[in-house]
Chains A and B, each alone.
Chain A
């Protein structure tokens, strides 16, 4: 009989043993972290040593780590191993100022691949499957992250990468692809193009499984994808700071995502008071890495809002589940899998002397594609020449594209028509149903 679990001894470990393992690994993680310039100062100042941690609850006495910490210690300030142990780095997509860089040792990459393999195995993938990954490769962790995980599982892994939908569909048919990883909006795009080509995903392909993630989506959208393709679609959660995909993943019960607690300690905090919240309450997810040696992160504030789903899962896994991501505790938004902060857009806009200071970003779904519209107020008119105004719009669009990696629609608007700067101006209007 086929095994249900990739690593049964870990996935179904008794809670008490799991917590003992967490405590042991947490102490090791802190010991490792103290070797990095950043944590040796941050934790050293507080006199923290691995021995300061006697129970898991002691973790709460440690300070948080934020994205700002990563940026201001760019690129290697949090690296805790000698340079000869670091074998790869990934960087976040287009962020303001310094990007965030995460370094990995060989050990880290193996652990990461193991987690991804565990996730894919959980939703039924085996070494006979053909897994096509439509993530961007390169700095995006969704590319190499799934590649190594699916290969470790033994699946034939097609690094199709992003774009060229007609070619993707050809691969799906020619290679007999059984599983695809895609962001939800791209899954819809694949379906639309298949329909235009007269191809039915149900009868003309061997697809059984879709892995969707990196972009917020609703339960209704998942059902729509499942209905369209005639497959099961599973929610995947990860972020580059936590290595990438494979942090939490849905099991066949499709009721919450098991967060791998042998690799991470999760906390849910109130983003205002920073106090811990009980299971079931929505707050900000805070994660501590337990098996990363090149760059351990202690109490990292993910800014993602979710809750821990109380109770046991019928699948038998003891690792607790988080709910699908409900939003952000900062103003970041995600379009086509790319993280975008309003500050990035503001920074570009402010470089144009022709523009005023008010702007509004609207994200909406147009023909099942997420689109970003940037409306910006003109300063005073600087020209009577039509083509110069159009050139300005084009220049803004191009520079924004370079920064946020998504081509926005730019509109010049009259002064006084956008929300004023006074107080907390709303800069982002997210009209997507899936936000």
Chain B
């Protein structure tokens, strides 16, 4: 299974990120995980929320350029070596990871993966009995 990730285009301008969080806050939308990638002139904010459709709508209405992407989310035990084991099996099967981000809290971590081959990646994760969301 994959989940929907929202990507938001961010102009490199002070306060632009804050505007995204403000729009989400005003609409009672909580972010479960996010990351920001940036280049010289612009950035991309990638985020995971519960209410995907609502979030997309309010962000678009606020003038943001957004796109939905299917990504893989897994639970990974929050202990040394857990992620390494997963990544190793992906590497062994020539899965290339475009980007990835994670949030750890107490016993487990949520890991978001965008691989080059989503189907294959899911298959391997299943074989390895990874806890896919």
Give CA–CA (A381, B63) in the complex, Å.
11
Min Cβ gap A369→B in Å is 19
Cβ-defined partner of A386 (8 Å) among B5, B37, B65, B67: B37
Q: Which of A244-288 contact B (CB under 8 A)?
A: none
Asked if B67 contacts A383 (CB within 8 A), the reply is yes
Asked if A384 contacts B67 (CB within 8 A), the reply is yes
Asked if A379 contacts B65 (CB within 8 A), the reply is yes
Range for the number of chain A residues in contact with chain B: 10 to 19
Known: A386-B44, A412-B9, A412-B42. A380 touches B65 (CB 8 A): yes
Asked if A378 contacts B9 (CB within 8 A), the reply is yes
Of the candidate stretches A74-82, A302-310, A413-421, the one touching chain B is A413-421
B66 contacts chain A at the CB level, 8 A cutoff = yes
Give CA–CA (A246, B58) in the complex, Å.
60
Known: A412-B9, A414-B16, A417-B11. A381 touches B65 (CB 8 A): yes
- Considering residues A381, A383, A417, which has the most beta carbons from chain B within 10 angstroms of its beta carbon? A381
Asked if B41 contacts A411 (CB within 8 A), the reply is yes
Residues of B within 8 Å of A414, CB to CB, are 9-11, 16, 63-65
A390 contacts chain B at the CB level, 8 A cutoff = yes
A382 contacts chain B at the CB level, 8 A cutoff = yes
A389 contacts chain B at the CB level, 8 A cutoff = yes
Min Cβ gap A278→B in Å is 49
Residues of A within 8 Å of B98, CB to CB, are 385
B79 contacts chain A at the CB level, 8 A cutoff = no
Q: Which of A332-346 contact B (CB under 8 A)?
A: none
Residues of A within 8 Å of B114, CB to CB, are 384
A393 contacts chain B at the CB level, 8 A cutoff = yes
Asked if A384 contacts B65 (CB within 8 A), the reply is no
Scoring B residues 55 to 91 as 1 if CB is less than 8 Å from chain A, else 0, what string do you get? Answer: 0000010011111010000000000000000000000
Scoring A residues 14 to 36 as 1 if CB is less than 8 Å from chain B, else 0, what string do you get? Answer: 00000000000000000000000
Residues of A within 8 Å of B63, CB to CB, are 414-417
Closest to B7 in A: A384
Scoring A residues 414 to 433 as 1 if CB is less than 8 Å from chain B, else 0, what string do you get? Answer: 11110000000000000000
Give CA–CA (A383, B37) in the complex, Å.
14
Interface size in chain B (residues, C-beta < 8 A): 23
Total A-B pairs, Cβ < 8 A:
53
Residues of A within 8 Å of B11, CB to CB, are 412-414, 417
Scoring A residues 316 to 335 as 1 if CB is less than 8 Å from chain B, else 0, what string do you get? Answer: 00000000000000000000
Give CA–CA (A225, B81) in the complex, Å.
68
Residues of A within 8 Å of B64, CB to CB, are 414-415
Give CA–CA (A378, B37) in the complex, Å.
18
Give CA–CA (A381, B7) in the complex, Å.
8
B26 contacts chain A at the CB level, 8 A cutoff = no
Give CA–CA (A383, B98) in the complex, Å.
13
Closest to B44 in A: A386
Cβ-defined partner of A412 (8 Å) among B5, B37, B41, B46: B41
Closest to B66 in A: A381
Residues of A within 8 Å of B66, CB to CB, are 380-381
Give CA–CA (A417, B41) in the complex, Å.
15
Residues of A within 8 Å of B69, CB to CB, are 384
Give CA–CA (A382, B60) in the complex, Å.
13
Closest to B64 in A: A414
B113 contacts chain A at the CB level, 8 A cutoff = no
Min Cβ gap B39→A in Å is 6
Asked if B8 contacts A381 (CB within 8 A), the reply is yes
Residues of A within 8 Å of B67, CB to CB, are 380-384
Residues of B within 8 Å of A415, CB to CB, are 63-65
Min Cβ gap B86→A in Å is 22
Closest to A383 in B: B67
Give CA–CA (A411, B60) in the complex, Å.
20
Closest to B43 in A: A386
Residues of A within 8 Å of B8, CB to CB, are 381
Give CA–CA (A49, B49) in the complex, Å.
78
- Considering residues B7, B42, B69, which has the most beta carbons from chain A within 10 angstroms of its beta carbon? B42
Residues of B within 8 Å of A378, CB to CB, are 9, 65
Asked if A393 contacts B44 (CB within 8 A), the reply is no
Asked if A386 contacts B41 (CB within 8 A), the reply is no
Chain A residues within CB distance 8 Å of chain B:
378-386, 389-390, 393, 411-417
A380-B66, A381-B65 provided; 10 other pairs, C-beta below 8 A? A378-B65, A380-B65, A382-B67, A384-B7, A389-B39, A393-B41, A412-B41, A414-B9, A414-B10, A414-B11
Give 16 CB contacts A-B under 8 Å: A380-B60, A380-B66, A380-B67, A381-B8, A384-B46, A384-B67, A389-B39, A389-B42, A411-B42, A412-B9, A412-B42, A414-B16, A414-B63, A414-B64, A415-B65, A417-B63
